[in-house]
Structure 1
Amino acid sequence: MLEKYPVLPGAEPFFFNGNHIGILISHGFVGTPQSVRFLGEYISSHGYTVYGARLKGHGTHYEDMERCNYWDWIQSLEDGYRFLQQHCRDIFIIGQSMGGTLTINLASKYPDIKGIVLVNAAMTAIPEMEEFKDKMEPRFIDEGAPDIKANDVHEITYAKAPIRSIKQLLSLMDITRGKLPSVTCPTFAFRSEEDHVVPPENTDYIMAHIQSDIKKIIPLYNSYHVASMDYEKKFIADQCCLFIEKYASNPREMEIS
């Protein structure tokens, strides 16, 4: 599917070349790589190779998004994984919101992924979207302000969301729930205790159904849904670096590839 509109300034994917440990990061529904760029920059400053993918139909215009299905989004993240494989030996994935859903899909398919980090991942229910599951109109709905507690934070996102895309997200969640038992890699999950988009119970469900021997929920008490841009973004980034260092092969080898 070719996009009709150019990528918005600041919404481009990002790549930071570092050592043999690669970190793939995915933004969420109607978001862009800008929403996870702080995580990418912080993690890369520790020597890791980082790629922030842009999901198909995102960061351009919501009409582009309307023309996508969830397989396009799955493929976008898998393309990022294959790109990192050209540069790195070990790969970790970090996913925010729908990006967490896509991360679980990828981890269920590739057991050699070293570990995953989920940030308010969507899996069981998004109350605001459920009412549109069986509707065909209106064609677009207003998105409203991003769910971020911190003041003066600007997220590049769409002002409207296509009903068709909402249905695709809900379908993605449906198919991904069946893949949870196939996830066996180490998993950390950040869960905002006050999330006005994806209820915290989504994270609880994920962690109860994956088969990873190593799994941990880390509660966030001062961030809303887009936690990667909120008050605890540095705490999240620090924990990600500790997670990567602990579960990567020979993490102290910091040669630039």
Structure 2
Amino acid sequence: MAAERYSVLPGAEPFYFKGNEIGVLVSHGFTGTTQSMRFIGERLAEAGFTVYGPRLKGHGTHYEDMEASTYAEWVASVEEGYEKLKQECKRVFVLGLSMGGTLTLYLASKYPDISGIVPVNAAIEITAMEPLEGASEPRYLDAIGSDIKQAGVVELAYEKTPVKSVGEILQLMRLTKERLPLIQCPALIMVSTEDHVVPPDNSRLILESISSAEKEILQLENSYHVATLDQDKELIAERAISFIQAHCK
């Protein structure tokens, strides 16, 4: 495991809010940072939950650090967060944006004691990325962050996307897609009706593929991909809180 060469950017630090015995793990996405999850994390904490937002390996520093990281290290980042909350809480829920949603699904497929999941614009299949897999040129692509409908809102994300990292997320998506039928916990799937990063039909496929008896999909009609920073962020927080409260009884 390669050490990160760069320091953590201001605003990209992991966050932790101590609350009650209900834990919520919140995960940011590919090339992004905890900044995209901070509002949701704070709202969940205000509702009384214990909340942890880990920084994924290679994220929130410099895109060269991301280039040197692997999807297995991204998985390890959220697994460490899950174990931290599991030690402190009676129940643990997971909420993730984009690749954070992919990681949410992966965790739920591996840890059946997770009480419920809230994937937001989760990625399991992005065919536009596939031609880049294994490519050595170009080394970096333009940024994919800040797909936000609300004017003036900016996501703290990398200005370049390493092509090597595209290969890593493709592997993670394939692995997670195969594991979807293993998921049995309650699921509230949120999807933006217009998303310029992850095709919205990913969420429909997730809904159809997981084995959960309790599952529903919520359309986010006023946000693009980074919905947790966009015009539906209050709706996301409110519905996530209601979902968690309903499954704590």
Normalised by the length of structure 1, the TM-score is 0.94
Aligned 8 A contact 2:32 2:145 in 1: no
Query: Is the 2:148–2:154 Cα contact (8 Å) retained in structure 1?
Result: no
Match of 2:148 in 1: 148
Structure 2 CA distance for aligned equivalents of residues 196 and 3 of structure 1: 30
Identity of aligned residues (%): 52
Q: Report what 1:106 is aligned to.
A: 107
- Written as runs of structure 1 = structure 2, the 5 A alignment for 1:240-255 is 240-248=240-248, 250=249
2:134/2:164 contact within 8 Å kept = no
Distance apart, 1:135 and its partner CA:
2.0
Structure 1 residues 126, 119: closer, same or farther in 2, change over 3 A? farther
- For 2:139 and 2:196, the matched residues in 1 are separated by 23
1:89 deviation in Å? 0.8
Asked if the contact 2:115/2:247 (under 8 Å) is kept, the reply is yes
Distance 1:230 1:131 in 2: 30
Alignment deviations for residues 65-94 of structure 1 (CA, whole Å, 9 cap, x no partner): 001110000000000001111221100000
Distance in 1 separating the partners of 2:154 and 2:109: 33
Letter in structure 2 aligned against 1:153: V
Shift of 1:2: 1.2
Q: Give the aligned length.
A: 248
C-alpha distance in structure 2 between counterparts of 1:175 and 1:144, whole Å:
22
Alignment of 1:96-245 (within 5 A): 96-127=97-128, 129-143=129-143, 146-245=146-245
Question: What RMSD, in angstroms, separates the aligned Cα atoms of the two structures?
Answer: 1.0
Q: Verify the 8 A CA contact 1:124 1:205 in the aligned structure 2.
A: no
Amino acid at match of 2:82: Y
Question: Structure 1 residues 87, 122: CA separation in 2 closer, same or farther (over 3 Å shift)?
Answer: same
- Find the counterpart in structure 2 of residue 254 from structure 1: none
Alpha-carbon distance change, 156 to 126 in structure 1, aligned in 2, over 3 angstroms: farther
TM-score by length of 2: 0.97
Determine which structure has greater relative contact order: mean sequence separation of CA pairs < 8 Å that are 6+ residues apart, divided by chain length. 1
